[in-house]
Structure 1
Amino acid sequence: MAPAIETRDLTKRYRGGRPAVDRLSLTVPEGAVFGFLGPNGSGKTTTIRMLMGLIEPTAGTAQVLGRPMPRGARTVLPHVGALIEGPALYGFLSGRDNLVRVDSADPTADPRTRRARVGAALDRVGLTAAAAKKAKAYSLGMKQRLGLAAALLQPRRLLVLDEPTNGLDPQGMREIRTLVRELATDGTTVFLSSHLLDEIEQVCTHVAVMAQGRLITQGPVAELAAGARGKLVVTTPDPADAARVLKEHGITITETSDDAVVAEPPPPGTELADLNTALVTAGVRVRGFGVERASLEDAFVALTGEGFDVAG
């Protein structure tokens, strides 16, 4: 199948500054939940705006659902739901009436089924009880939900979400993750931009990492995490003795604290039980011992040498 999104050397340069997006070549497989990851200011939103035909690229090409953008916007956009930089709402209208206006502006929407379509979208994002409330009284999280409902008024081949959990409490974030998984199961490709590594790792099948306008890496989440080394963690009230024993067995220590030692994973072929036995034999009181797999955060740090907001 052709990719849902494909860019080649996509570039956006604003007058007098460095490129906001610099020669981006990105491939989003059809049916993927694709995490577009990077710190604030890394070029994610500028990329999305080019993909949606909202701004012209300076150079390079972008294809969405097999059509060039922005030239193919009239054909492509009816198949795309999007929430970019927060929803644009009419504050004096209720949540329901906001969705009615959005649906009315869609030339492909059947007005005879509008009420049912709006009701289903509100229910899907948990806003049925607040449907009659004016949007100006909505919290930030409720506004995000309403924007997402607007993107889901029609069945979509592609859903583009820019920081969809912005302003949501932990329960709301879990609900959005569940919704994204359901959409992917139904066959929708989801392109999810975020600066939260933990969110991306929990819901996405593929990921691309941006930094300072450039693509650092892309690929399946599991492969990127597997490419980073895990860590050996020994929990003990005797960290100095534990570190000494581990060094004697060729283990590189990366961090020590009052109650733990963190080290690089043992070399291939090392029997972990023997290593634990060596610690106990040396009089180290071992309270916890194990190798933790690498996370997406570990992979990001390994690639860039830096971290960013992983907790929100």
Structure 2
Amino acid sequence: MSTGLAIETDGLSKRFRGHDAVADVALAVPDGSVFGFLGPNGSGKTTTIRMLLGLVSPTAGTAAVLGSPMPDGAAGVLPRVGALVEGPGFAGYLSGAANLARLDSADPLADPRTRRRRIGEALDRVGLGAAAGKRVKAYSLGMKQRLGIANALLRPRDLLVLDEPTNGLDPQGTREVRTLVRGLAEGGTTVFVSSHLLSEIEQMCTHAAVMRTGRLVAQGTLDELRGAAGDDRLHLRTPDAEQALAALTGAGLTPSLSGQEVVAPLQGRPVEDLVAALVAAGVRVRGVRLAEASLEDRFVALTGEGFDVES
């Protein structure tokens, strides 16, 4: 496996009862990145994560996490990995702090002498310090989600794997998790985030990958993915829509009418040249704006499905 990668897979596949849940996935997650793992429900994201953590054995292919093969290297790797997968599960009759103490005591590598301090710090980092003594059965879904993240942070981690970390959080909680993830990355921790919230990935991540029906269909930096979305688009306001459509078609573009605007992909053409051509054709130009290609455009093109874009 290559150096400089926190996660690397080659041909990773998983079949369930003759069905390919994950097929031939080749992930490359750089060290120190915040890596968004995107895809519609049922696209194979959680199954892939479970294979990366050694919870499920692959049918074919290989996976390495923090430089060690999985699942064979799980004993050495997992103490360096914090994970929140498929939602947290806690004892409702215990407080948040007591739940974390119970989980920490089950970790043979955790130092019991620093347990109380570490639990307090983890709860403070996710904004639950004031609710540390409250029974978890009285926690909201968002509070339980944050408690799960706190559990993943009880010890220093080289890799943090979060499956839908903002699920159930209010806007303030979402911002807190976003800030937390950024802070962890700045400290050298690689963060692997599975999410369907496109806005969160755009604000939180440096890299991303897109899954569709069990297959990896794109990955790279956010700028690379945006660049692959296609050309930027010209939006033109004019009272001469028909003339504008004809002029842009004559210029080799494929314009269309969208509401009160004429829209055309630029195909690398300078906006200034197109505006000059429109004016020369007698088109009255009332306004021009440029719409840059977006991640949403790319994801919809790749998956055939939309993503939730608001938290």
TM-score, normalised on structure 1?
0.91
The one-letter amino acid of 2:180's match is L
Residue pair 1:100, 1:114 contacting (<8 A) in 2 also:
yes
**Alpha carbons of 1:308 and 1:246: their partners in 2 closer, same or farther (altered >3 Å)?**
same
For residue 4 of structure 1, what is the aligned residue in structure 2? 6
**Alpha carbons of 1:125 and 1:235: their partners in 2 closer, same or farther (altered >3 Å)?**
farther
For residue 293 of structure 1, what is the aligned residue in structure 2? 292
Q: Which runs of 5+ in 1 are unaligned?
A: none
- What is the root-mean-square deviation of aligned Cα atoms in Å? 2.2
Residue pair 2:248, 2:278 contacting (<8 A) in 1 also:
no
Report the Cα distance in structure 1 between the residues aligned to 2:166 and 2:273, rounded to whole angstroms. Answer: 40
Of 295-304 and 2-11, more deviation after overlay is shown by 295-304
For residue 149 of structure 2, what is the aligned residue in structure 1? 148
**Alpha carbons of 1:266 and 1:250: their partners in 2 closer, same or farther (altered >3 Å)?**
same
Report the Cα distance in structure 2 between the residues aligned to 1:302 and 1:166, rounded to whole angstroms. Answer: 25
**Alpha carbons of 1:94 and 1:255: their partners in 2 closer, same or farther (altered >3 Å)?**
farther
Residue pair 2:39, 2:212 contacting (<8 A) in 1 also:
yes
**Alpha carbons of 1:110 and 1:232: their partners in 2 closer, same or farther (altered >3 Å)?**
same
For residue 258 of structure 2, what is the aligned residue in structure 1? 256
For residue 212 of structure 2, what is the aligned residue in structure 1? 211
**Alpha carbons of 1:304 and 1:79: their partners in 2 closer, same or farther (altered >3 Å)?**
same
Q: Which runs of 5+ in 2 are unaligned?
A: none
The one-letter amino acid of 1:31's match is G
Number of residue equivalences: 308
For residue 192 of structure 1, what is the aligned residue in structure 2? 193
**Alpha carbons of 1:255 and 1:125: their partners in 2 closer, same or farther (altered >3 Å)?**
farther
Structure 1 residue 305: Cα displacement: 4.2
SS in 2 for 1:218: strand
Report the Cα distance in structure 2 between the residues aligned to 1:140 and 1:255, rounded to whole angstroms. Answer: 45
Report the Cα distance in structure 2 between the residues aligned to 1:208 and 1:302, rounded to whole angstroms. Answer: 14
Identity of aligned residues (%): 62
Alpha-carbon deviations, 1:165-222, whole Å to 9, x = none?
A: 1111222222211111111000000111111222112211111110000010111111
Residue pair 1:242, 1:284 contacting (<8 A) in 2 also:
no
Report the Cα distance in structure 2 between the residues aligned to 1:219 and 1:104, rounded to whole angstroms. Answer: 39
Residue pair 1:239, 1:256 contacting (<8 A) in 2 also:
no
Report the Cα distance in structure 1 between the residues aligned to 2:112 and 2:277, rounded to whole angstroms. Answer: 69
The one-letter amino acid of 2:5's match is P
